[in-house]
Structure 1
Amino acid sequence: MNSTTSRPSARRRTLAAAVVAFAAGPVLLTAPAAHATGGEGRASAVVLRTDLDVALLNKAVHVPLTATLNEVRAPASARRTALTVTLDGVEQGRPVSVLKADVATAQATADGRRAEGRTELARAKVHVPGLPLLSLIELEKVTARALCEAGGQPVAEANVPGRVTVLGKRVTLTAGGPMTVEVPGVGEVTLTLSGTRTTSRTAAATALALTVSVNPLKANVADVTGTITLAEATCESPKAPAAAAPTAPADAKPADVRPQTAGEPPEANLAETGGSSLTPYLAGGSLALLAGGAGALALTRRARAARTRG
């Protein structure tokens, strides 16, 4: 007797897989993880900055004196140092020492959480052309600090503790406002103490700012005018991280998941199986009819065989 084996159709295989998966338990759907992005902060620090104009005795020649000492920036750091400068026609061609100090440091750091600039200057003397023996200013110590943290209020601090001498005169600095020191035959210097400013994301601190106007009439120098900044620090807060919302595929559809109650047969998703909710019952009925037909066929064959033998 020839026997044939039929393979289950693709629809029946899908139906069986769906029933097994549903019976195994609920399926957890997970969305892609959200990623947060943010920007680094910025910070800078400088020990000394000069922006001076040096006029020679004939007043026809003006030589700029622009220099910085230990200027650093973060996150892209750089370091420049100018302890001495050389100006044509001044000090007989010898270098002019702008700053002498035991300590002159500047630090700047920045990352995604905080940015900080920090400066310290100790036991320092500042000179300008035309006054080789007389210091423009002498001080024991100045510091400046600017701190900006993500989500926090920026902080700016500047201090000038200890003694300060301007053009050979001892002065006492106060926070009441600018102070002017005059020396007959030499000139005057105006000092502004501890300037700080902050915004919602930035901070800046300047320990000491000098406005200079001197007429030494020495070393071929007639006038020196301009500004000098001592101990400056700035910062800018990192940008707050912004969470990116997960995006679902364009053709994604919400899953139709319902709790199953006792005695309720599992219902397959029509979009997955292509059948209806009655498919399990129809399949069970078909199996029962097939079994009953096979039994009846066997009984008929037995009766025919008995009659043949008889």
Structure 2
Amino acid sequence: MNTISDIKITQSLTSKINEVDFENLTFGSIFTDHMLICDFKNGAWQQPEIKPYEPFLIDPSAKVFHYGQAIFEGMKAYKDAANDVWLFRPDQNFERFNKSATRLAMPEVPEFVFIDGLKTLINLDKAWVKHENGSSLYIRPFMIATGSGVIAQPSTQYRFMIILSPAKSYYSGEVKVIIAEHYSRAANGGIGAAKAAGNYSAQFYPTKLANDEGFQQIIWTDDATHTKLEEAGTMNVFFRINDTLLTAPTSERILDGVTRKSVIDLAKRENIEVEVRSVLVEELVHAAKEGSLKEIFGAGTAAVINPIAGFSYQGTYYELPKLETSFAQDIKTKLTAIQTKDAEDTFGWTVKV
């Protein structure tokens, strides 16, 4: 199987689209009319199928429930003024998805199933992609272990799926963060570089503690010393000290974010100095005290760019300056213009559906 004609398609008889208020969307809560499913069993991928979005039955002993074999990606599609739909760097998500699969002893998904299946699915639900400011179609490819039995070993059966969700902006309002001094997002030798479901569930409790203190997110630090700044919430993080952007290098602990890479390339194109290196907590605190820390922002698929208003460390809160023009806003404007085809894509990042 390696052509679109090999995908079985069962179209929904009715659409939910007229029931949706596209101006008041809660991120990730509304899904389109169709979904893609492809099962792995007997050592091989089966025929992919696109069918109406619906629940499905799964054995209570499925290994995803007991041993956490579950990975996912986050992507977006955008509609331009000519009513064409575009993906943003889908090859990067495809490659990272299979790296995650390998790390969790899961089978790699064929490109035909992932990329061609995704394009076919989006074409069916094209009306759900809106050409409006801040609008996009959030794409969630994921794979779970469906093999039954509670013995502690990798599953022999898996299900790959893609579901789609219309989206507006992910975050709203001011974001304040606290720097982690005890909890860690990931450790060397672990699965921090994989987009594994367990990475995110492990963040929920320390994030709840941060929320209780009045902060929206955590800037994670390295697990060994808690002296190196790594990620912000579920995003990669950038720091602007004077006119230089700093961000941590990817590692076994840090996700190789597609938006992160795009921000670095775009900043360099705009002649912004970028340093990819370890950023120390003491360096950030010193810069905040002397006034050279201008900005902190997160970068990820859902939020694209999310400015941070200030941070807390060891009980002291450091407010960032209010800037009339910021790197965060400028980069976000230029990046989203490329994604929506309102600006020339000089990088070759966008792929027509």
TM-score, length basis structure 2:
0.21
Q: Which has the larger radius of gyration?
A: 1
* The structure with more strand, counted as a fraction of residues: 1
TM-score, length basis structure 1:
0.23
* The structure with more helix, counted as a fraction of residues: 2
